[in-house]
Structure 1
Amino acid sequence: MKMNLWKNLTDQHPTQAKENQLGRLLKDRKVGQPLRYGHLGMIPLFGSECTKAQYALPETALSLTKVTNYGQMILKNSGNRPAIVPLNLGYFQLGAQNHAMCTSWVLNAGEEREFKDACCIQESQGGYIKESDDRFIVLPHSLRKAALALKGKEEYGKLWQSITTFNTQLGLKARGHLDEMKQAFQPELLQTVYHLEPQPEQTGAIFLLNDEIVGIELAPDAAFWAELHTPLVMYCYAPLRLAEAYAQRSATKGEALNVQGLTSFKMLKERYEALQHKRVKTAETMLNDLGEVTYSSTKEQENKEHRLFTVRAGAFAGQMVMHGNQMAYASLFNEKVAVV
């Protein structure tokens, strides 16, 4: 699905979302002012079906307590509410092998669980993580298709070849060390976060690469999103921009503010507000069109009123968490974009 966020779209499709359409996942979500940084764009989303504070906050409550063996990690929810483990959560740790999840999960309050189908994301570093105080990461978008396909497979080196290919797309050493990216591009990764900063009360986002939708990210509430935003933008989506720059592909340009014939600050303000309004309307059209895409789902976990599903919708795949009949969390990626 490729849509130009800045072209003048006037067709509106306000439809009643069916249960098997993405509009069901996007219920009660409203778009905000789109942001752009080079090749990468973000449409912030606001609102949620979920009541606030249904879930523990991911960075505050979740911790990697131990790696019991290569490819096997223990996560703990120290919160007093259920915690959603974000899809493809991982940890970098100095002096030990870094690991990441292939799946999402819902942990009960205080629950500690071992995941035996995790993956090592550092090929030759020895040592097990005993406990990590570091902030979590989210695997780069280019690795998510491979990681999701490997859920359930207990083989610690299963992602190394994909990481090697990913590194070469950034001009890095051809080896299965994901931290090569962090060491080489930390300033650029942070810069992307600064340009695509979270908005007050934001609960999700649609991410675009050269105006093509590459990701749909939904959180249960604004507090959850506030902790998810930085690792998601910095490690999952910012590398897409880096890969485009390394390949010397030009970024698509949005419609610029027309400054011809300006005679007053009032006229400038009016033109700027009109452009902002136009961009929001175009984003709303995109959300409506996206909502008409049908999806199928497979249940992976049922924990009381919490259910985890793997989802496929056209070019998109990923996972979602339902709280009863309410959409709590979703992370869907475009499988056809920037795949290793």
Structure 2
Amino acid sequence: MSKSLRAFRRTAAESATVDDLLAGVCPGRVQSVGRMQVLPLLAGDAPTADLGDPAGLGISTDNYGTLHFRNETAGPVLVPSHLAVIVSQAAQDHAMPRAALVTAGGARSYAAAMCVQQTQGGLIRHGRHRLAVLPPSLREAASDLPAEPGYNRLWPAVSRFKDSAQVPGAADLVQFLKRFATELDQFVAEFECVDDQIGAVVLMDNRVVGVERAPSHTYWRALWEPLIRFCYGAEAVRREAAGIPADPGARVPLTPPRGGDGTDTLALLAAAVRDANAREQATAERTAAATAAAPVVVGVDEEAAGIAVGTVVGDALIGAYALAGETPVYASLTARGLL
């Protein structure tokens, strides 16, 4: 770990790289569907931490722009960066602009949350709710906004996102989610959460669009659907709806085998598939490594129970991270300039 990630202070802003935040993880086998690829990040010997299960938090609102969290467990729970609370009840859905920490057995009110439905009224009743994570372009917009009260400040970005996907109407993210519900569900079925996985590098059209590292495998499993369906799946669906051509160089083509008399065509085909998979793996890892070397600035927003939570700002990526002691155990970064 670089010296820049040691002995943080609350007001510090230090230089680091994405690789610093991913210390110890190792890549798994890349998964590819259409224009999207997921390179799993496996724990191996990487440091981990028990930062709870965000799906177990009690969540509610009592006014627009404030999310209330209640943690009834014996340990702290990390609220993931850009968490979105999407409920079936008639209520204004909300999202977080940052990551946050809820202490063991405690409650937390976050007054800088953002509404994501311009015309929907109502308050979220206390309980456990289905979690989502904002699509990448909305995450960039949320991170660039100051973390201060203003329930409607994300609406312009929501409108741009919907307009790009050819979804008319008000700045209501749920209208997009309902329009493309079937397509979004497919992403959960087509990508697999693997053993020992604690994160992923997500690529789309030959570019890294997200870097995720969870504090534990349990935490990652809780985030898997919110990230694959609502965050990165939504970006892939938006690109299709917007008519953005897929990058033909993003996938390694399969070279058809040439058979002949006495040739085992199936064996040749299997060898061609293995070769294509190996080349695609190498390409994904090279692209991910280039992103991991990118410099970022990290700063601490809050500290409690030996956990520090802060923001990450770079020219190419933006998001949040967490330290357990002096060790990075969480990172959630999305690419800039996607919309």
Q: Same fold (TM over 0.5)?
A: yes
1:259 partnered with 2:256: yes
- Equivalences for residues 265-276 of structure 1 within 5 A: 265-276=266-277
Q: Which amino acid counterpart does residue 41 of structure 2 have in structure 1? A: L
Measure, in 1, the Cα distance between the counterparts of 2:320 and 2:119: 30
Q: Which moves more between the two structures, 262-271 or 310-319?
A: 262-271
Aligned equivalent of 2:95:
100
Give the 3-state SS of the residue equivalent to 2:29 in structure 1.
coil
Q: CA deviation at 1:290?
A: 2.4
1:191 partnered with 2:186: yes
Measure, in 2, the Cα distance between the counterparts of 1:104 and 1:279: 33
**Partner deviation per Cα, 1:38-82 (whole Å, 9 max, x = no partner):** 22221111116324x6221221x2231x21211111012222221
Aligned equivalent of 1:39:
35
TM superposition outliers: structure 1 runs of 4+ over 6 Å:
none
Aligned equivalent of 2:74:
80
Q: CA deviation at 1:195?
A: 1.8
Q: Is the 8 A contact 2:211 2:331 kept in 1?
A: yes
Q: CA deviation at 1:216?
A: 0.6
Q: CA deviation at 1:123?
A: 1.3
Give the 3-state SS of the residue equivalent to 1:24 in structure 2.
helix
Q: Which moves more between the two structures, 27-36 or 124-133?
A: 124-133
Unmatched tracts of structure 2, length 5 or more:
5-15
TM-score by length of 1: 0.88
- Equivalences for residues 228-267 of structure 1 within 5 A: 228-253=223-248, 254-262=251-259, 263-264=263-264, 265-267=266-268
Give the 3-state SS of the residue equivalent to 1:318 in structure 2.
strand
Measure, in 2, the Cα distance between the counterparts of 1:50 and 1:122: 38
194 and 17 in structure 1: CA distance in 2 versus 1, 3 angstrom threshold = farther
Q: Which amino acid counterpart does residue 100 of structure 2 have in structure 1? A: W
Give the 3-state SS of the residue equivalent to 1:295 in structure 2.
strand
Q: CA deviation at 1:18?
A: 7.0
Aligned equivalent of 1:177:
172
Q: CA deviation at 1:171?
A: 1.2
Q: Is the 8 A contact 2:17 2:294 kept in 1?
A: yes
Q: CA deviation at 1:17?
A: 6.4
Q: Which amino acid counterpart does residue 301 of structure 2 have in structure 1? A: E
TM-score by length of 2: 0.89
Q: Is the 8 A contact 2:208 2:288 kept in 1?
A: no
Q: Is the 8 A contact 2:57 2:128 kept in 1?
A: no
**Partner deviation per Cα, 1:94-152 (whole Å, 9 max, x = no partner):** 21111111110121122211111101111122221122433111111111122122342
- Equivalences for residues 82-231 of structure 1 within 5 A: 82-93=76-87, 94-231=89-226
Measure, in 1, the Cα distance between the counterparts of 2:309 and 2:41: 22
Q: Is the 8 A contact 1:219 1:330 kept in 2?
A: yes
Give the length in aligned residue pairs. Answer: 320
Unmatched tracts of structure 1, length 5 or more:
1-15
Give the 3-state SS of the residue equivalent to 1:279 in structure 2.
helix
Q: CA deviation at 1:288?
A: 3.0
Give the 3-state SS of the residue equivalent to 2:311 in structure 1.
strand
Q: Is the 8 A contact 2:257 2:268 kept in 1?
A: no
Task: Let me know the Cα RMSD of the aligned residues.
Answer: 1.9
Q: Is the 8 A contact 1:18 1:24 kept in 2?
A: no
Q: Which moves more between the two structures, 127-136 or 93-102?
A: 127-136
Measure, in 2, the Cα distance between the counterparts of 1:172 and 1:221: 37
Aligned equivalent of 2:323:
322
Aligned equivalent of 2:7:
none
**Partner deviation per Cα, 1:232-289 (whole Å, 9 max, x = no partner):** 1111111211221122222124122222314323332223223222332333333332
Q: Is the 8 A contact 1:317 1:334 kept in 2?
A: yes
255 and 282 in structure 1: CA distance in 2 versus 1, 3 angstrom threshold = closer
Measure, in 2, the Cα distance between the counterparts of 1:237 and 1:284: 19
Measure, in 1, the Cα distance between the counterparts of 2:137 and 2:307: 28
Measure, in 1, the Cα distance between the counterparts of 2:328 and 2:173: 32
Q: Which amino acid counterpart does residue 193 of structure 2 have in structure 1? A: P
210 and 18 in structure 1: CA distance in 2 versus 1, 3 angstrom threshold = farther
Identity %: 28
